[in-house]
Amino acid sequence: MSAAVTRGRGTRPGRLRRLAGRVGLYASVLVLISPAAFVFLWMLSLALKNEVDNMAFPPVFIPHGPTFANFVKVFAENDFLSYTINSVVVSFSATAAALVIGVPAGYGIAKAKAMRAAALILIARITPGLSFIIPLFLMFQWFGMLGTLTPLVITHLVITVPLVVWIMIGFFEGLPGELEEAALVDGATIWQAFRHVALPLARPGITVATILAFIFSWNNFLFGIVLAGRTTRTLPVAVYNVLTFEQISWGPLAAAALVVTAPVLLLTLLMQKEIVAGLTAGGVKGG
């Protein structure tokens, strides 16, 4: 029977079916990503054209003589270098703090099967950020911390910690419990079992949690627009400030948006295999 199946796969109808399936898969992927790809390419086109071409009708998609003047203008007139440093400091700090808090929390929830605690964390994650803005603003104002980077790091934990916790719960639930039980039998404490057994095995999950937490923190706009000062703005807020009441300069605006998008895009492209492998591993439960 297996030989017949093998012969059937090698026949011309079998090859045509596989080819049709592959073409269908590629066509479906192309349909799904084409809107996002078109928007990105159009934004790149706007950033590389002068304002005359950007305002032309019919629209000019391919620049006639690409120019980097819009990028130079963004960095020269809006202090984007300082805002980039602010975004790096806030995102890295919020991600590191989320890992320190979220990885042990995910381990504890997974081993204690505390699904109510997990549900509360999920509720905190899906609650709109506007619900936190007023009390957080009043609290930081009372402490005299408005206009510094510290409130941004703290508020970004509302985004990053639940994300890390939920990713790590899935990974720790999928780890074989026999390894930790063996460590406990040998005299290890629960903290030692976590540190020397569970933590190394959950490295793919930690990688995924780190990348996603950084991306969500980097892209956050709401907390930055309310809590940041003139010198502590992050890049998403800086892009918003490129807009003026007199007119919309599409070239500098697109260039600023690309500056914000580039680090996240490069990180995703470089780490896509780790993201897919980590998410796949986290979706497989141990027996």
Residue 21 lies in a domain: yes
Structure confidence by residue, pLDDT tens digits, 106-149:
888 888 888 888 888 888 778 887 788 888 888 888 988 888 88
Residue 287 lies in a domain: no
Q: Same structural domain for residues 88 and 218?
A: yes
Q: Same structural domain for residues 236 and 119?
A: yes
Residue 62 lies in a domain: no
pLDDT at position 244: 57
Supply the range of the domain harboring residue 22. Answer: 2-47
pTM of the predicted model as reported, rounded to 2 decimal places: 0.78
Q: Same structural domain for residues 179 and 260?
A: yes
Low-confidence ranges of the chain (pLDDT < 50): 1-2, 4-8, 245, 283-287
Q: Same structural domain for residues 169 and 36?
A: no
pLDDT at position 172: 84
Q: Same structural domain for residues 129 and 221?
A: yes
Q: Same structural domain for residues 230 and 179?
A: yes
Residue 249 lies in a domain: yes
Q: Same structural domain for residues 127 and 40?
A: no
SS3 sequence of the chain: CHHHHHHHHHCHHHHHHHHHHHHHHHHHHHHHHHHHHHHHHHHHHHHCCCHHHHCCCCCCCCCCCCCCHHHHHHHHHHCHHHHHHHHHHHHHHHHHHHHHHHHHHHHHHHHHCCHHHHHHHHHHHHCCCHHHHHHHHHHHHHHCCCCCHHHHHHHHHHHHHHHHHHHHHHHHHHCCHHHHHHHHHCCCCHHHHHHHHHHHHCHHHHHHHHHHHHHHHHHCCHHHHHHCCCCCCCHHHHHHHHCCCCCCCHHHHHHHHHHHHHHHHHHHHHCHHHHHHHHHHHCCCCC
pLDDT at position 97: 94
Q: Same structural domain for residues 148 and 204?
A: yes
Residue 127 lies in a domain: yes
